[in-house]
Structure formats: structure tokens, C-alpha cells
Amino acid sequence: MANSPTGESVISRVVRLMSAFDRDLPTMTLSGLARRAGLPLTTAHRLVDDLVLHGLIERLPDGNLRSGMRMWELAARGSRALNLREVALPYMEDVQAAVHQHTTLAVLDHGTVLYVERLSSPDSSLNAAHIAQRMPIHASSSGLVLLAYSAPAVQEEVLSGRLEQVTPETITEPQLIRKHLAEIRQRGFVAIPGIGVTEWTGIAVPVFGPDGAVAATLNAIVPRGEAAVPLTVPALLTAAHGIARALKASAPAPRRL
């Protein structure tokens, strides 16, 4: 239901408020939140009061605001990402123990790559691919793997849209991306340096769900020039196969109505 001059719904404005918080700016004043969300101060004030009442936003002693734990609680309930993370974690730990690099788990969500888990390596100087961070599909190894095993209609939708030049080496030519997608399906992995962050190489493999479709990607983030692909890929593939088996075993049995 919309009750604003622009016709925007209350839910849309609430989403704008909640989306304004991020890792770089986890707390802010009411006026800062309103400005970042692009809302009038009076509108933000009214909505924030309700969100504080329900625990979705917390008001700190100094008056600043931050996303509330209630938001995390509600988001985690019944989330497919939560089950995926719980199943994948033991296998991700095996990968990290073998390669000693950041290990990530990512899914395709609303046209972008969403990182749902990351195990950090204290030996790595790289600091990216955080949990809940998003990347363009074409500008990450995880995204290219997800795209390679997606339906042709999904591939065409991505490749016919705007392909942002994230780094000087980001691939933005649809025909070249199609070539890489074909190679990924043939080899079962991808390792292209510098396409999302100049300093790293992402080595990614697919994780298949119980229905045989790609459910996620498992990725090792390796400093550029140190990418030991022949050693890393077997560890990733072994873990991905283990996750796939565990997902199949944990899938609910079909129900008869």
C-alpha cells in the first residue's frame, strides 16, 4: 500500500532504510540515515520509531542507529542460505586447511553474486568477499561459475544487460564471456585473475543441489601470482562433491498430499 506523494509503498521505504546500513557504515544518525536512504527526515523519523519498537533497528545510548539483532533473527529463520552454510562449513574448513587462503561460499541472488559464508585466513593480506557482500556476476569467479551452469535464459539476460568494468581486467565482451562459460562447463572450474579485485585470483567450482542444478559456488581467494591452481582445484572439487552429497542427504523427503 502506498501513502506517499511518489506512490512508493511503506515496505519499499523500509527496505531503503534497512539497506542503508552496511559494513562500512554500520551506525549513523537519523538525519544521516534519512539522507542515505533518500527519504524526507519526517518520513524516516516515523518509520524508524516503528522499526526500533519491533527491534529491527536499535537506538544506541548516543542516539545513533544500527540494524537490530531482530533483523538477523528473522532473516535466518528458514533461510536456504542458513542450511547451505551449516552443511558446507566442515568441507570449507578442509579446503582452508589445505590451501591456507580465504574460502568462500556464494549463491546467485537477484542478478548478483551473494557471499553467504567466508572462512578467513590469517595469512592472507586480502580483505574482500565478506559475508553478505555482493559482486556483479561477470566480475567474479563465483559469478562466472554460477552463470555457466544457469539456464540459457538467465545467461542471455545477464549478457544482454550492462556489464560494469569493475577493474581494468573485468571481462565485458559478451562473446568472450560465453567462451569462458563453455570452458567452465568443460573443465569444471574457473581461475581468472583480476576480474573483480586486481590483487586476487578467484578459483571457483560449482556445488550442485539435490535436483542437479547449481546451488552455490565454492571459491578460494588467492593472491595474484600465487595461484597454485593444480593444488587448489582438487581440494575445492572434493569439498564441493562432499557438500553436494550432504545437501542431498539433508533434503526433505517428498510429501504426499
With 0-12 / 13-18 / 19 or more C-beta atoms within 10 angstroms meaning exposed / middle / buried, residue 72 is exposed
Across the chain, what does the average pLDDT equal? 88
Question: Residue holding cell 539483532?
Answer: 69
**What is the reported pLDDT for 179?**
96
How far is 234 from 189, CA to CA, in rounded Å? Answer: 10
* Chain centre distance of CA 158: 16
- C-beta of residue 236 within 8 angstroms of C-beta of residue 218: yes
Compute the half-sphere exposure of residue 166: CA atoms within 13 Å on the CB side of its CA: 17
Q: What is the dihedral of CA 133, 138, 141, 142, to 10 degrees?
A: 50
Task: Name every residue whose Cβ is closer than 8 Å to that of residue 219 and which is 6 or more positions away in sequence.
Answer: 103, 104, 105, 106, 129, 141, 142, 202, 203, 204, 205, 236
Q: Do the beta carbons of residue 91 and residue 114 sit within 8 Å?
A: no
193 DSSP β-pair partners: 201
pLDDT band per the 50, 70, 90 thresholds, residue 129: low
Return d(Cα 179, Cα 162) in angstroms, integer. Answer: 18
Tens digits of per-residue pLDDT, 175-201? Answer: 999 999 999 999 999 999 999 989 889
pLDDT tens-digit readout, 95-124: 988 888 889 999 998 889 998 888 887 666
- Which pLDDT band holds residue 1 (cuts at 50, 70, 90)? very low
Domains of the chain in start order, with CATH, are 10-74 (1.10.10.10), 79-250 (3.30.450.40)
